[in-house]
A and B are shown apart, each in its own frame.
Chain A
């Protein structure tokens, strides 16, 4: 039985309008199914429901608009099915394109911010440690819980926007202290420090974590302090796509794990796993879906899942050293990054390198890659996981350096030395 406060009952009973009442009924019903005893007040939301999956989602969002719906907490939007800045990027048929555009507009009418990004935490949306929020999009949920220390369950379509309109979420799962403690310790101290110093290590660590953790909370020990947001982003995205990871800790790095004892709430780990280069090599190999290895012919390159930061664009341009891509090259990002690239006068260099910028959406959620399929090279663990089921392309996983060299030469270049 879910106990509502007087305030929550008033909202459910229509005091704040029909959409707020509908949202409160949906959140309460979700809480009942999940076995929650109460709701928790939230301070922000990130919405994944703005991606078109069919007309029903558009009609639902428009119903909320018609019921005078307005989000009650600061709310950012994940990607849609269209690049609103570059009209010809997504090749949707007229009807889905119209409905996808109506869906995106309805979420703006609900007062959500037009961020259209899967990296809202790099677009200024960073709730503080210990605050309750309702976020959708698996990589963002993992980053929000693990790196920011804010508290969110994995909110799916329609519960996310209902939570934002009701300003409440079910008090279950990762909202509660007891469910945030680590039970499994992963010891990285035996890994080659040169590997741990590479960007390409982090998506692979995430892919291994996602395949290993199950529903358990893992604490990783033995990584260097001061990990960049981009490395943590890649780790979160890979862990959340290859598995159902919503929270992990890194000892000495993430806010709820200043030391092992704190991360485990004083209880000894139920299991300790000593991570080896061989385990990571196997995880890396699983990210590629073609067995042709170094002989694979690459038909296209895509990076930017999660969306690229300015730093990542700068590193890519540095590695290209003025060379142009000889292959179709897609770089997915958000408006927050494009604005800064323009301010830094870097957009001309990106265009000159033959890089196609995709904003507001990405290449695995809407048809953008060249028709006909083939083999895609990516440095993203998340793209590696979703590319084949969503686009039909096979995948080769490589580092950002591999991506730059392959782009510049037009044939696959992969530095294997790192993984020997």
Chain B
């Protein structure tokens, strides 16, 4: 089990799950909050559920309501296992921070430069530890 990439830890935690790779996504408009499924027909994996997956988004798009969608997914149990973004996104991070303040389950959030996402194949089983080291299982 070798380390394929080292991500920056934006919100703490460790996770294990199958990679779900998307080039660009806004949580607001791109994810159905009640079901946690991808909504945008222009995006790969449209219709798939995020729950249990490690979501990798190379280019996050920042609608300011995306924190509300993240908080709703954490509250209703449809959140992914972890999110890895091409850059630090404080809007998604804020949804996680607020969930922690509410005493709800949270997930880790990592930042990994977009070009390093290429080292991880879509659908592979991943393990990410608390230091942000990403391993392929």
Residues of A participating in the B interface, judged by any CB pair closer than 8 Å: 22, 25-26, 29-30, 33-35, 48-49, 51, 53-57, 59-60, 63, 136, 138, 154-159, 244, 389
CA distance A154 to B10 in the complex (A): 20
Which residue of chain B lies nearest to A156 when distances are taken between CB atoms in the complex? B64
Which residue of chain B lies nearest to A141 when distances are taken between CB atoms in the complex? B64
Residue numbers in A under 8 Å from B10 (CB-CB): 33
A157 near B65 with CB under 8 A, answer yes
A22 near B67 with CB under 8 A, answer no
**One of B14-22, B46-54, B68-76 contacting the partner:** B68-76
CA distance A56 to B77 in the complex (A): 11
Contacts of B25-43 to chain A: CB distance below 8 A: 29, 33-34
Identify 14 new A-B residue pairs, CB closer than 8 A, beyond the known A57-B71, A136-B64, A156-B66.
A26-B101, A29-B93, A33-B88, A34-B90, A56-B76, A60-B71, A60-B102, A63-B101, A154-B64, A156-B64, A157-B65, A157-B67, A157-B71, A244-B62
B72 near A54 with CB under 8 A, answer yes
A158 near B64 with CB under 8 A, answer no
Residues of B participating in the A interface, judged by any CB pair closer than 8 Å: 10, 29, 33-34, 62-69, 71-72, 74-76, 88, 90-91, 93-95, 97-99, 101-102, 104
B88 near A157 with CB under 8 A, answer no
Which residue of chain B lies nearest to A26 when distances are taken between CB atoms in the complex? B97
Residues of B contacting A: mostly: helix
A155 near B102 with CB under 8 A, answer no
Residue numbers in B under 8 Å from A29 (CB-CB): 93-94, 97
B71 near A56 with CB under 8 A, answer yes
CA distance A59 to B65 in the complex (A): 16
- Specify which of B67, B75, B76, B88 is in contact with A158 (CB 8 Å cutoff): B67
A59 near B64 with CB under 8 A, answer no
Provided the pairs A60-B98, A63-B102 are in contact, do residues A54 and B62 lie with their beta carbons within 8 angstroms?
Answer: no
A157 near B68 with CB under 8 A, answer yes
Residue numbers in A under 8 Å from B63 (CB-CB): 156
Which residue of chain B lies nearest to A157 when distances are taken between CB atoms in the complex? B68
- Specify which of A34, A53, A136 is in contact with B72 (CB 8 Å cutoff): A53
B102 near A57 with CB under 8 A, answer no
- Specify which of B33, B74, B94 is in contact with A159 (CB 8 Å cutoff): B94
Provided the pairs A56-B71, A60-B71 are in contact, do residues A33 and B102 lie with their beta carbons within 8 angstroms?
Answer: no
| Pairs of residues from A and B, 5 with the lowest C-beta to C-beta distance, nearest first | A156-B64, A54-B72, A56-B75, A157-B68, A33-B90
Give 15 A-B contacts (CB < 8 Å), ordered by A residue. A26-B97, A26-B101, A29-B97, A48-B65, A53-B65, A53-B68, A55-B75, A56-B68, A56-B76, A57-B68, A63-B101, A156-B91, A158-B71, A159-B94, A244-B62
Q: Which of B63, B71, B74 has the most CB of A within 10 A?
A: B71
CA distance A155 to B64 in the complex (A): 7
Residue numbers in A under 8 Å from B99 (CB-CB): 56
Residue numbers in B under 8 Å from A51 (CB-CB): 65
Closest Cβ of chain B to A166, distance in Å, is 13
